[in-house]
């Protein structure tokens, strides 16, 4: 979501004559787009600001702006901690950036805007900064969150949930496709409650409409809340040919007392039931999750229940985090805080377990042909001498696994020319914990945006 917002910021500043640069040393303005989800992310913001302060000393005209969730949370307190910052703008102020900047330039006085409205300004067309074309792009379909999980800062820094109008989303995706994009990742804190509040067509209907966009090859989305994962959405994985066979379905904990105290509104049994339904519709579906270890009051028994759930599901991947107190989040006031070294040990155990499961799941793909959307090409660095060796193509399977294909051997696979944006069948030869390695098998259909019938994954 922050990556999408950063693109929106770059796009909004383009008419003012600002262009992206690849180095802070060359910049007239540095905007730090921030995340407040965990304590560590906030610490990173201030240590980064400390580094850019040195640049401002050398070049006093340099404008330093802080946007995003830390800006929203801290407001003008940022100016006290980092007095060299010129501009603080919150999560709802991105659309107002041009006018904030002209205020700053005219008066040469620090500006803070952390006002939150009920709606966020819509982007005017595709969110692609000048000069950038990519195969896959993010599209935010809703803002904010109404779920108030007790550990989470999002509802306070991103505001209440609000869904964008379907016609704006469809127009933005059409515009992206017209600019060469082949895959979209729909973003929201809880995409499967899309439109409910506004009485709009639901998330499944939105997916159906996006599925009809000609020239688009793949649709992904994140994040789904298990409590709102409906039968119709589960069914969509069997029906919609462009919908990728991957779902990120954060469970957070495998222990019911903890889920209750987190205010997640499902039990571990209900969660596992949804997983079974998904696998019935789509047996080779990839499932990933988020886990928080060391939530206040998490006992060893609770943690063991999380380990058991991870083993039962057999996730394809996990993001695991140590719980940290967040401003305004109710769990900050909960007693029975878990000791830091227990959190460390639990995190380690989750990560080690998951690494083994991911490797086993990836290895089960060796010998199979997977459809890969080619994303990029790069020359591989040769270790030791600082030089570069043969090139390699990189793409993703529908199940969101990264696949590398050595360019020289790919040619031997008689696959013809490979280009970013092509969907190609790839024979998986090797599996690692974080990627697969394969060769185009040259036998199947190669499509750029053609009819999807033969590539359908309907189960």
> How far is Cα 364 from Cα 52, in angstroms, rounded to an integer?
47
Instruction: Tell me which of ligand SF4, ligand SAM, none is bound by residue 155, counting a contact when its beta carbon lies within the kind-specific cut-off of 5 to 8 angstroms.
Output: ligand SF4
Using the minimum distance from each CB to ligand SF4, give the nearer residue, 251 or 347.
Answer: 251
With contact defined as beta carbons under 8 Å apart, do 434 and 400 qualify?
no
Secondary structure (DSSP) of 310-357: HHHHT-SEEEEEE----TT-GGGG-S-PPPHHHHHHHHHHHHHHHHHH
Q: Which stretch binds ligand SAM (CB under 6 A): 61-69, 159-167, 319-327, 442-450?
A: 319-327
Sequence-ordered list of residues with C-beta below 8 angstroms from that of 356, at least 6 positions apart, any chain: none
Find which of ligand SAM, ligand SF4, none residue 324 binds, CB within 5 to 8 Å per kind: ligand SAM
Of 63-71, 122-130, 146-154, 307-315, the window that binds ligand SF4 (rule: CB under 6 A) is 146-154
Q: CB-side exposure of 97: number of CA atoms within 13 Å? A: 29
Nearer Cβ to ligand SAM (177/292):
292
When the beta carbons of 79 and 249 are compared against ligand SF4, the nearer one is: 249
CB closer to ligand SF4, 42 vs 374? 42
Nearest to 181 by CA among 373, 1, 4: 373
SS3 content of the chain, % helix, strand, coil (to 5): 40, 20, 40
- Tell me how far CA of residue 220 lies from CA of 30, 81, 94, in angstroms: 31, 39, 25
153's tokens = 């800062």
Does 248 sit near ligand SF4 (CB under 6 A)? no
Tell me if residue 293 falls in helix, strand or coil.
strand
| Residue 309 binds ligand SF4, judged by CB under 6 A | no
149 binds ligand SF4 (CB under 6 A): yes
41 contacts ligand SAM (rule: CB under 6 A): no
152 binds ligand SAM (CB under 6 A): yes
Geometric angle at alpha carbon 249, from 246 and 254, rounded to 5°: 135
**Nearest approach, Cβ of residue 148 and ligand SF4 (Å):** 6
Query: Segment 229-258, which members bind ligand SAM (CB under 6 A)?
Result: 250, 252
List Cα–Cα distances, 310 to 278, 288, 319, in angstroms: 16, 10, 12
Q: Under the criterion CB under 6 A, does residue 189 sit at the interface with ligand SF4?
A: yes
Site for ligand SAM in 174-203 (CB under 6 A): 189-190
Q: What does 206 bind: ligand SAM, ligand SF4, none (CB cut-off 5 to 8 Å by kind)?
A: none
CA-nearest of 174, 198, 180 to 188 is: 198
Helix (H, G, I), strand (E, B) or coil at 39: helix
Nearest distance, CB of residue 144 and ligand SAM, angstroms = 10
x/- contact string, 19-38, with ligand SAM (CB under 6 A)? ------------------xx
Interaction between residue 205 and ligand SF4 (CB under 6 A):
no
> Which residues make Cβ contacts (< 8 Å) with residue 35, sequence separation at least 6?
2, 41, 42, 45, 68, 69, 70
Distances, alpha carbon 414 to alpha carbons 182, 256, 418, in Å: 24, 53, 10
**Minimum distance of ligand SF4 from residue 386's CB (angstroms):** 43
| 163 vs 189, beta carbon nearer ligand SF4 | 189
**With CB under 6 A as the contact rule, which of the stretches 46-54, 119-127, 146-154, 424-432 interacts with ligand SAM?**
146-154
Q: Which is nearer to ligand SF4, 145 or 418 (CB)?
A: 145
Q: Say how far apart CA 293 and CA 269 lie, in whole Å.
A: 19
Q: Is 226 in the site for ligand SAM (CB under 6 A)?
A: no
- Is there binding between residue 225 and ligand SAM (CB under 6 A)? yes
- 148 lines the binding site for ligand SF4 (CB under 6 A): yes
Q: What is the 3-state secondary structure (H, E, C) of 159-207?
A: CCCEECCHHHHHHHHHHHHHCCCCEEEEECCCHHHCCCCCCCCCHHHHH
Site for ligand SF4 in 215-234 (CB under 6 A): 225
Round to whole Å and give the CA distance between 178 and 136: 13
- The contact set with ligand SAM (CB under 6 A) reads 37-38, 151-152, 154, 189-190, 223, 225, 250, 252, 290, 292, 321, 323-324, 326
| Interacting residue ranges for ligand SF4, rule: CB under 6 A | 145, 147-149, 152, 154-155, 189-190, 225
């Amino acid at each position: 979501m922050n990556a999408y917002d950063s693109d929106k910021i770059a796009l909004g500043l383009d008419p003012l004559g600002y262009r992206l640069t690849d180095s802070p040393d060359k910049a007239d303005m540095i905007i730090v787009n921030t995340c407040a989800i965990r304590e560590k992310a906030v610490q990173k913001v201030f240590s980064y600001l400390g580094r850019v302060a040195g640049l401002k000393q050398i070049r006093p005209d340099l404008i330093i702006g802080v946007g995003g969730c830390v800006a929203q949370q801290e407001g003008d307190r940022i100016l006290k901690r980092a007095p060299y910052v010129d501009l603080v703008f919150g999560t709802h102020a991105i659309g107002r950036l041009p006018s904030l900047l002209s205020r700053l330039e005219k008066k040469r006085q620090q500006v803070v805007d952390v006002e939150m409205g009920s709606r966020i300004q819509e982007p005017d067309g595709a969110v692609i900064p000048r000069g950038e074309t990519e195969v896959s792009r993010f599209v935010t379909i809703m803002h904010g969150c109404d779920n108030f999980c007790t550990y989470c800062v999002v509802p306070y820094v991103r505001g209440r949930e609000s869904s964008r109008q379907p016609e704006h989303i469809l127009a933005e995706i059409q515009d992206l496709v017209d600019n060469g994009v082949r895959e979209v990742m729909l973003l929201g804190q809880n995409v499967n409650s899309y439109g409910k509040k506004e009485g709009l067509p639901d998330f499944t209907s939105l997916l159906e409409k996006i599925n009809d966009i000609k020239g688009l090859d793949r649709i992904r989305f994140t994040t789904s809340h298990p409590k709102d994962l409906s039968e119709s959405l589960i069914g969509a994985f069997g029906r919609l040919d462009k919908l990728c066979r991957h779902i990120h379905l954060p469970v957070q904990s495998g222990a019911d007392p903890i889920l209750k105290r987190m205010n997640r509104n499902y039990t571990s049994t209900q969660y596992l039931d949804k997983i079974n339904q998904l696998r019935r519709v789509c047996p080779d579906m990839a499932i990933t999750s988020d886990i928080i270890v060391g939530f206040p009051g998490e006992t060893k028994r609770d943690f063991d229940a999380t380990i058991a759930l991870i083993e039962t599901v057999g996730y394809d991947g996990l993001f695991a985090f140590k719980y940290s107190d967040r401003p305004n989040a109710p769990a900050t006031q909960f007693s029975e805080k878990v000791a830091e070294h227990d959190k460390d040990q639990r995190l380690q155990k989750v990560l080690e377990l998951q690494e083994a499961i991911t490797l086993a799941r990836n290895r089960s793909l060796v010998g199979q042909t997977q459809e890969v959307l080619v994303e990029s090409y790069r020359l591989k660095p040769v270790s030791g001498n600082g030089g570069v060796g043969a090139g390699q193509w990189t793409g993703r399977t529908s199940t969101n696994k990264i696949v590398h294909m050595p360019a020289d051997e790919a040619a031997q696979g008689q696959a013809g020319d490979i280009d970013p944006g092509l969907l190609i069948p790839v024979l998986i030869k090797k599996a690692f914990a974080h990627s697969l390695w394969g060769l185009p098998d040259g036998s199947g259909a190669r499509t750029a945006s053609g009819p999807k019938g033969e590539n359908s994954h309907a189960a």
